Structure 1
Amino acid sequence: MTDSLRQHPAGDLVLARVGARTVEYRTHGEGPGTVLVFHGGHMRARMALGEDVFTGAGLRVLVPSRPGYGRTPLITPTAPAEGFADDLARLCGELGIDQVAAVVGISAGGRTALTMAARHPGLVRRVILQSSVAFLPWPGPRTRLGARILFGPGTEAVTWAFVRAMIRFVPELGLRALTRDLSLLPVGQVLARLSAADRATLTELYASMRSGRGFAADLLPVADCTSRVGQPALVIATRNDRSVPFAHAESLAAALPRAELVESRADSHLIWFGSDYPAVAARIRAFLGTEPGGPASA
């Protein structure tokens, strides 16, 4: 992995009133172009993962907490993606951003990223999807039931407190328990391939997660907008992903008019920990135009 997880202090976070909603967000990096990053489930703006590929290429990242995560409230639980996409377009305008080099959707944040691209084509130049949920049924019935029990609004705080305690007192057990649901490979094999630094980063990642009301909203259906996303799209996924099956990436690559599918060899849903991530990162930079042979930068 090329960078580490960073927990940004509260002073780095901004609460903005955008229309009828309060949006929590963070910016990081300097540069003439901006990348808008929508994190996946159980993550929020305070957490930074996989951003160095963008900031290292001279781009700034704008990272909001999606509805129900962090201090961004869940105002419209039946259709948060559409309203939030419009709110983020307004926020970009207020920040003086008239175009983003790419919108990045990670895991459950992929649908929000695609909705943003579809609703605001003049603002979004490109789309990057990383282990992204498509518009197929997701998750499976057993996982959905378990998620509602463990990560519902009334239980998620207890669940993550237990996870943090497990990580602190029996870290190996904690790593195995959480990583098992992210990979189709034997969990011992996945963990054995991680460097000491990556194991430390993964431990910190798990210990920092919260679900708020956001993950329950992530389980709701979102209107399929792929036919209206005309921007170039880079779809990155691994066949070893248990959390979001590779069929989702194949579905997105087939449905998006200008998509390219990049198959990662990562052992799990977390592609940043894959041995081939440097090559994946190079492909991202080329797609953004920050390496020779790529399209022009925003």
Structure 2
Amino acid sequence: MRRVPGCGTAAVVDASYHGRVSDTGELSTTVARLAAGTVEYRLDRRGDRVVVVMHGAHMRAGLTLDESAYADADLTVLAPSRPGYGRTPTSTGTTPAGFADVVADLCRRLGIDRVAAVVGISAGGRSAMALAARHPDLVERLILQTAQAPLKWPTRGTRLLAGLLFPPATERLTWGGIRWLLRRSPDSGLRMLFGGLSTMPPRQVVARLGPEQRAALVALFSRMRSGSGFRNDVRPGPDVSAEIGQPTLVIATRRDGAVPFGHAEHLVRAIRRAELVESQSDSHFAEFGADWPAVSGAIGAFLDAGPSPGRT
């Protein structure tokens, strides 16, 4: 394990990210119709090397945080909406293994025969791990950022949350209430949300955020939706950690209230070529940690290490 040294300044989410922004404030996406079904994706073309980004819960292809590490390295970003999110129905792939095969097929459709890394963020970690395990000839490296491991997850509380607040029939109302609160009292809304995202007191977490960071978080939370994806995410699945042979970078913070640090420790033990980078973020969002520039630099260095020499 290594702790990335802080840089002394707060990270700011890049609101002018390099992708194409639509009239809704989201990045433009495309829908592909594959043999397994319809899948929504965002493709930000830059250089020849490609990273696949699997987003977390309540997100979709058109929403993103800071992808500057990939932009700075001139990497093309392929970001699909996982099953149940955005315009990807739950029937497309459904499970992490099934969706891994869908993404591999999408890569073939787009003429991508090798990806520098697949990135799994939070609940997207299981799909990223499945893609690395099932398609080693496609995936060179794996990055798991505050990602869930098949370790006592989902908890009973998470399943209850999915059933009570975010079922497909009523999640629109839940997010409508969150948007209303964020408009009426942004800091109160952020404190409520960070109650489940940090082990620190929410008031302290929000107080340590800069104005631009708060505005970015309000904008992000205001666009989130669960669709049928969150209910799908909380279904248990197999642990494929031991099947992963690629070099793996695990990024986690001990103050994560959504995914306990033990998940990262499990991943580092179970994946034989894994390395742990400990973020100093106050919450589940590593991008908002004061040391994010250094963490982002560690991501860039990991990707610059070159193609994986293969499974060992």
> How does the TM-score come out when normalised to structure 1?
0.94
Deviation at 1:295, TM superposition (A): 3.3
In the alignment, does 2:53 pair up with 1:43? no
Write the mapping of 1:136-285 to structure 2, written as runs, cut at 5 A. Answer: 136-285=151-300
The separation in 1 between residues aligned to 2:219 and 2:27, in whole angstroms, is: 20
The separation in 2 between residues aligned to 1:171 and 1:113, in whole angstroms, is: 33
Deviation at 1:94, TM superposition (A): 1.0
Deviation at 1:240, TM superposition (A): 0.2
In the alignment, does 2:20 pair up with 1:4? no
The separation in 2 between residues aligned to 1:142 and 1:225, in whole angstroms, is: 24
For 2:39, give the aligned amino acid.
V
In the alignment, does 2:81 pair up with 1:65? yes
Superposed CA offset, 1:249-290 (max 9, x none): 00000000100011101000000000011110111000000x
Match of 1:55 in 2: 71
1:38/1:214 CA distance change after superposition, 3 Å: same
Deviation at 1:49, TM superposition (A): 1.2
8 Å contact from structure 2 (residues 200, 282) kept in 1: yes
Superposed CA offset, 1:59-108 (max 9, x none): 0100000000000001168x521111111101101111000000000000
Deviation at 1:216, TM superposition (A): 0.4
Q: Match for 2:91 among 69, 72, 75?
A: 75
Deviation at 1:52, TM superposition (A): 1.3
The separation in 2 between residues aligned to 1:57 and 1:218, in whole angstroms, is: 31
The separation in 2 between residues aligned to 1:122 and 1:142, in whole angstroms, is: 38
Superposed CA offset, 1:108-127 (max 9, x none): 00000000000000000000
1:296/1:146 CA distance change after superposition, 3 Å: closer
Deviation at 1:29, TM superposition (A): 4.1
For 2:64, give the aligned amino acid.
A
For 1:20, give the aligned amino acid.
A
The separation in 1 between residues aligned to 2:231 and 2:185, in whole angstroms, is: 28
Match of 2:102 in 1: 87
The separation in 1 between residues aligned to 2:42 and 2:308, in whole angstroms, is: 22
Higher relative contact order (Cα pairs below 8 Å, separated by 6+ residues): 2
Answer with 170-179 or 262-271: which moved more.
170-179
Q: Match for 1:97 among 107, 112, 116?
A: 112
Stretches of structure 2 that go unaligned for 5 or more consecutive residues are 1-10
Number of aligned residue pairs: give it: 293
Match of 2:8 in 1: none
The separation in 1 between residues aligned to 2:257 and 2:64, in whole angstroms, is: 23
The separation in 2 between residues aligned to 1:101 and 1:296, in whole angstroms, is: 7
> How does the TM-score come out when normalised to structure 2?
0.90
The separation in 1 between residues aligned to 2:102 and 2:218, in whole angstroms, is: 33
CA RMSD of aligned residues (A): 1.8
Stretches of structure 1 that go unaligned for 5 or more consecutive residues are none
Deviation at 1:143, TM superposition (A): 3.1
For 2:217, give the aligned amino acid.
L
The separation in 1 between residues aligned to 2:246 and 2:183, in whole angstroms, is: 44
Match of 1:295 in 2: 306
